[in-house]
Structure 1
Amino acid sequence: MKLHLGIVTGEPSGDLLAKQILEGIRNKYLQDAIYDGIGGLELSSIGFNSWYSMDELSVFGYLDAILAFPRIFSIYKNVKKRWLTNKPDVFLGIDLPDFNLRLESSLKKNNIPTIHFISPSIWAWRFDRITMIKEAVSHMLVVFPFEEEIYRKENIPVTYVGHPLASVIPLKPSQESARKFLNIDPKAQVVAVLPGSRSSEISNLGPIFLQTVKLLNKIRPDLQFIVPMVNESRRSEFENLLDSIEVSNLRCISRRDYENNILINKPLSWYAMEASDLVLLSSGTATLEAALFKKPMIISYVLSPLVKKIMTWQSGQNKPYLPWIGLPNILMNRFVVPEFVQDNATPKKLAEAVLNILLDRTYCSSIVDCFQNMHKDLKLDTPKLVAETIIKVVKKTM
């Protein structure tokens, strides 16, 4: 059996996972196979034929998406034409729902089985997308346990495969080693501050977080703050805010500070979270990462009036279906950690929450136990389970 597998991924994490999946398929099932589509350096390192760099599909926010639409639509048409001409045995779309679901719909209509890995957040926004998913996806692979029931109710084949991050982040983080790497006093109380990876998040949340730090400077001058930045552009934007909001004991870091350090082998935000006693952060995947590092956290998010209007128009909702925005709260189905959203996200409220949590040792201990159990639930052999599903789907069509 010579397998032809098509893949599209647009993020480094998806690129690495896809590489692990392909290695699993080769080692256990097939030695001789064809893999092509869109990927990154990890896939290319094992002979994947990438027609475009996955960076071509990476956009952040509505404005970027609008500006990038002509380029992405051209890629979409070309990729679809290639696969309809030379049909793969199965297609694996990793995340990128706006691109991959449309592509999967076309491929499935032409009798190409489609597997989608990482469900869109239909449980929070736009459940109406389930109709398109039914039309587009032969088999859905989900990363959270509660998602299985959603798809089973809709009669969509589904498999829970665990969350890849749970296998990468250790069950027992080492605050000591992280502080040593970042050169942080082992006795200090440290708050990691993560205002987000997008420019809009820096501009909306950055000033609020800095004003929070300023208030905490007055009340707890011993507190240390570390702010990891995803790239130099975001760092520059954040440091520009420091010109107008003067704070103490805050250190902003980015990759350039460690470019000569051969020991760096994970995102700087992970080091910062691991080294911290508490994390103040923007809603998103980072909240799950903080939970996997077993950290108390305070989640916040602020949308500009324009973006909020666009989201309301696009989704038909004024707010998410769920009462929570943070992944730890969604997974636990209750408010495990505090959230401050929109008008409720004030420096005073955030500072009070920081102080209350740092003083409450019982709460902090309970958070560690809670997140330890969550981590174990999410930790499965994801590449193996995905590879097994791909083979099962292919065999059904033979």
Structure 2
Amino acid sequence: MMNSDTDIKTPAAQSPVFAIVVGEHSGDTLGAGLMTALLKRFPNAKFIGIGGPKMLALGFESLFDMEELSVMGIFEVLGRLKRLFHVKDSLVDHFSANNPDVFIGIDAPDFNLRLEQQLKEQGIKTVHYVSPSVWAWRQKRIFKIAKATNMVLSLLPFEKNFYDQHNVPCTFVGHPLADDIPLTSDKALARSELSLPEKSKILALMPGSRGGELSRLVAPFLQTAQQLLIQDDSLIFVAPLISEKRAAQFNQLKNDIAPDLPVQVIINNTQQVMAASDCLLTASGTVTLEAALIKRPMIICYKFNFVTFIIAKLMVKLEWFSLPNLLANKTLVPELLQQDVCVENILPLVKERLYKDQSELNQAFMTIHQSLQQNASEKSAEAVINLLPDNFSHVISTVNE
């Protein structure tokens, strides 16, 4: 394992080129953490591919906007297929001509695994960071992953067991969020910093970071909030949105659905808003893991495009779809999917979690937090460095000592 106290730094002439492709904001966070860890060893390293704002702030050179890959669902992808192939082919051409030392695809498996396989066939070492859910559906994808990658970096402990059974190289690195988020979150401090009232109950409305999911969830979320306000006029609503673009979309929908509902929109400060809240009404995704680590009760909702839902229903055989429940291997938090996402179902679930003791749930969240707290960015950087070409061998051997 690498030790930050004895980081090895190399001159620019010996610094590697890392190609990275991310497809959404959670991948941008992982990419920024990995870049930070790699820059400790190689301060003059070059990073190029597709990155988000956090990676760009660290000096990443993005060949395309990250939004190009932010597409969720089978039906939605079909409408963007021609453009996605153009982006992939352009990346293959660029990396083939410039030959990065290692390629790291972060999440976005349908896009990145195709790209990784083409690059691996050309002799470029490839890493896939965040395992696809092969343990849940389309398990034969494990053979495609084996062809496409030299190493898989898994965030969840049960994933590595699946890869080991198929003799596919995999390193369990834990989750960077578990490293970054403190074991206890100070609600009073978060409220003070956000200028939110100290005593009122606060419900966070979190309809998603993608345009499609937000458009499908805003209406039931706002309608539930309207009913809650009738029953408790002291209740405060906040909506943390990932960007100005999503905030504008949210506000437009709110003006149409619930123009008089008081909702404070806060941009790009999701974790602090969660810490300040008593309960979260949220879309599914990585944000539910953040909520568990911050240790706030939540109701998780998701609505797919209808065609995507029908196909997924036939292919996915899981008892749960949210990360907190999958990690606990039991129902910790309520999940509502598709037509079940309605005010009649959401309302009683929110009321129960806003006004009742949640200490038992918090203890379960603490267990999850401790299991994922593995110094993930450092472990990921170590795995990537071990794939560097032989001309970096003196650095690799020193790092591993």
Q: What's the TM-score, normalizing by structure 1?
A: 0.84
Given candidates 336, 340, 344, the residue that maps to 1:344 is 340
Task: Output one character per residue of 1:349-368: Cα deviation in whole Å (capped at 9) or x when no partner.
Answer: 2111122233431xx01111
Structure 1 residue 368 corresponds to structure 2 residue 338: no
1:7 corresponds to which residue? 20
Aligned mates of 1:68, 1:377 — CA distance in 2: 38
Do 2:288 and 2:324's aligned partners in 1 also have CA atoms closer than 8 Å?
A: yes
- In 2 relative to 1, CA 231–389 (structure 1 residues): closer, same or farther, beyond 3 Å? closer
Structure 1 residue 329 corresponds to structure 2 residue 325: yes
Structure 1 residue 298 corresponds to structure 2 residue 299: yes
Structure 1: state its 5+ residue gaps. 256-266
Aligned mates of 1:69, 1:215 — CA distance in 2: 41
1:21 corresponds to which residue? 34
3-state SS of paired residue (1:321): coil
Aligned mates of 2:248, 2:204 — CA distance in 1: 18
Aligned mates of 2:142, 2:89 — CA distance in 1: 24
Aligned mates of 1:45, 1:352 — CA distance in 2: 43
2:157 corresponds to which residue? 145
Structure 1 residue 382 corresponds to structure 2 residue 382: no
Do 1:215 and 1:348's aligned partners in 2 also have CA atoms closer than 8 Å?
A: no
**How is 1:2-81 mapped onto 2 (pairs within 5 angstroms)?**
3-15=16-28, 17-28=30-41, 30=42, 33=45, 35-40=47-52, 42-43=54-55, 48-60=60-72, 65-81=77-93
Aligned mates of 1:188, 1:110 — CA distance in 2: 59
Displacement of 1:165 after TM fit? 1.4
Displacement of 1:51 after TM fit? 3.7
Task: Output one character per residue of 1:158-212: Cα deviation in whole Å (capped at 9) or x when no partner.
Answer: 0011111122222221211221233221111111111222333233222222222
1:262 corresponds to which residue? none
Given candidates 235, 255, 271, the residue that maps to 1:223 is 235
- In 2 relative to 1, CA 287–36 (structure 1 residues): closer, same or farther, beyond 3 Å? closer
Aligned mates of 1:94, 1:7 — CA distance in 2: 7
Structure 1 residue 208 corresponds to structure 2 residue 190: no
1:274 corresponds to which residue? 275
After TM superposition, the structure 1 stretch with the greater mean CA deviation from structure 2, 92-101 or 198-207, is 198-207
Do 2:22 and 2:66's aligned partners in 1 also have CA atoms closer than 8 Å?
A: yes
Displacement of 1:105 after TM fit? 0.6
3-state SS of paired residue (1:393): coil
Identity, in percent, stands at: 36
Aligned mates of 1:242, 1:33 — CA distance in 2: 45
3-state SS of paired residue (1:132): helix
Letter of the structure 2 residue corresponding to residue 348 of structure 1: E
Aligned mates of 1:247, 1:43 — CA distance in 2: 36
3-state SS of paired residue (1:250): coil
3-state SS of paired residue (2:295): coil
Given candidates 124, 128, 131, the residue that maps to 1:119 is 131
Task: Output one character per residue of 1:142-173: Cα deviation in whole Å (capped at 9) or x when no partner.
Answer: 11111111111111100011111122222221
- In 2 relative to 1, CA 331–248 (structure 1 residues): closer, same or farther, beyond 3 Å? farther
Do 1:115 and 1:140's aligned partners in 2 also have CA atoms closer than 8 Å?
A: yes
Do 1:123 and 1:321's aligned partners in 2 also have CA atoms closer than 8 Å?
A: no
Displacement of 1:130 after TM fit? 1.9
3-state SS of paired residue (2:374): coil
Structure 1 residue 91 corresponds to structure 2 residue 103: yes
Task: Output one character per residue of 1:248-273: Cα deviation in whole Å (capped at 9) or x when no partner.
Answer: 76313043xxxxxxxxxxx3322221
Aligned mates of 1:202, 1:295 — CA distance in 2: 21
Task: Output one character per residue of 1:6-35: Cα deviation in whole Å (capped at 9) or x when no partner.
Answer: 32233455445445434534544x566554
Letter of the structure 1 residue corresponding to residue 298 of structure 2: M
Aligned mates of 2:75, 2:315 — CA distance in 1: 21
3-state SS of paired residue (1:122): coil
Do 2:73 and 2:305's aligned partners in 1 also have CA atoms closer than 8 Å?
A: no
- In 2 relative to 1, CA 113–223 (structure 1 residues): closer, same or farther, beyond 3 Å? same
Aligned mates of 2:254, 2:240 — CA distance in 1: 15
- In 2 relative to 1, CA 353–86 (structure 1 residues): closer, same or farther, beyond 3 Å? closer
Q: What's the TM-score, normalizing by structure 2?
A: 0.84
Given candidates 160, 170, 187, the residue that maps to 2:172 is 160
Task: Output one character per residue of 1:330-366: Cα deviation in whole Å (capped at 9) or x when no partner.
Answer: 11000011112223333122111122233431xx011
Do 2:238 and 2:266's aligned partners in 1 also have CA atoms closer than 8 Å?
A: no
Alignment length (residue pairs): 379
